[in-house]
Amino acid sequence: MNSQRTVIAEEQVQDAFRRGRLILNYRPGDIVTAQALDTAERLNIKLVDRPQESPPPVETDGVTATRRALYRRNPGWATPKPTESFRAQTLTKLALVGAGGVGSHLAHLAAIRQITEEISLVDILPGAAESIALDLRHASGITGSNTRLKGGTSLDLVSDASVVVVTAGRPRTPGMDRSDLYRINARVIQGVGEAISTYAPQSVVIVVSNPVDEMTSVMLDTTGFDREKVIGMAGTLDGARFRDALAQAAGVSVADVSAMSLGSHGNEMVPIASKATIRDRPIGEILNEETIESCRQTTIDGGAAVVRLRRTGSATLAPAHATLELILHMCGHLNGAIPASVRLNGEYGITDSVVAVPCKLSMNGVAEIVELTLTESELQQLRRAADAIRSRLGIRES
């Protein structure tokens, strides 16, 4: 009896993309759907017809095979949110200012995903950026990435970048609040901002340096860019931490949780419990109020918890993934709204303050600020966060 053939559908290609794979092997005789071919081309995944001796493939029953062939998205494979897009574009050049933990991890992620033709890394420490570029070039012999990589100490390496990600600055250490970093890192951001406005005036800037909200404001003022062109990586990471906390409390996979966090990337963070769901049910139906509040506090303390354990630095892996998610939304690999720190001009009743709110992104930066219906308490917390950030910057409300 002949063994059954496996159906390679769109879902398997998307799973390979999420895992950072560039090649998806299948056996001679397997069925590759038209949707899988389209998705592979869009996501730069190479489908290779190659025998696999061991382990033997899992056989698929006829009903499942037919369902996967006929339907574009199988609930067992598709990520809950955000959905993947058919408008994916590739950046011409991604510049990373700061080649420390976040910058190096982001360079690695961007290279293996091949979302940009070129990556330029800049770091004040001689050899730091160059070594990462060389290391990643060596890795390309394994990953198959054809992304061009450069590294150096001169800020003119950001020239003509489509997107500039700024991670430069001093990291947090135990006992240090994000606000303590303001005076130290503000001067760094001002210097970088001046270089960006000179060498890459057309770019979109993503600020990762802490304190993110304040540094995003400094970058806006220094470059003179429109508010759509400068965003901070804050709510993206905070939302991921909130989802993790809820998943841990409920004993479910984080993929079963939908939740976001807005406001400040600090003590005035606002995890939005009213919009959070676990397996499509409001979290209040699954967790009691005390547990939900504990999850909120765990989220707010998430960055500090990593700092306490690491002692000599702050989180690097999760911030790199969160920054990549922003870029994937910009390029159209992912669609829908995503939290980002932006300067508001009346949205949510807030003016002239940078806080994390849901945004739709494009290659030109912020395409739309999405105003959600929040509870009165959440809205007031968001406005208090804006007031606190404005106060730390010495800005009076207009």
Using DSSP bridges, classify how beta strands 7-8 and 31-32 pair: parallel, antiparallel or unpaired. Answer: parallel
Residue 68: predicted pLDDT: 35
Answer yes or no: CATH 3.40.50.720 is held by domain 94-232: yes
Give which of 114, 125, 100 is closest to 314, Cα–Cα. Answer: 100
Q: Is the pTM of this model over 0.75?
A: yes
Instruction: Among 3.90.110.10, 3.10.20.440, 3.60.15.10, 3.40.1190.20, name the CATH number for the domain at 235-392.
Output: 3.90.110.10
Strands (E), the chain: 7-8, 23-26, 31-32, 46-49, 94-97, 118-122, 148-152, 163-166, 204-207, 230-232, 257-258, 261-263, 269-271, 277-278, 281-282, 338-345, 351-362, 365-369
CA dist 109 to 94, 103, 139, 158, Å? 12, 10, 12, 19
Residue 182: predicted pLDDT: 87
List the beta bridge partners of residue 282: 277
Backbone angles phi, psi at 333, to 5 degrees: -65, -30
Residue 25: predicted pLDDT: 77
Residue 171: predicted pLDDT: 78
Domain boundaries, the chain: 7-70, 94-232, 235-392
Residue 70: predicted pLDDT: 35
Full strand arrangement of the beta sheet holding 277-278: 257-258, 277-278, 281-282
Residue 197: predicted pLDDT: 98
Angle of the 376-392 helix axis to the 212-223 helix axis, nearest 10: 60
As annotated, the active-site residues are 265
Instruction: List average pLDDT for each run of 10 residues in the chain, which is 398 residues long.
Output: 68 74 76 82 78 44 40 33 67 98 98 97 98 98 96 98 97 68 91 98 98 96 98 96 97 96 95 96 96 97 91 92 98 95 98 97 98 97 96 70
- d(CA 109, CA 346) in angstroms, rounded, equals 36
Residue 80: predicted pLDDT: 39
List the beta bridge partners of residue 258: 277
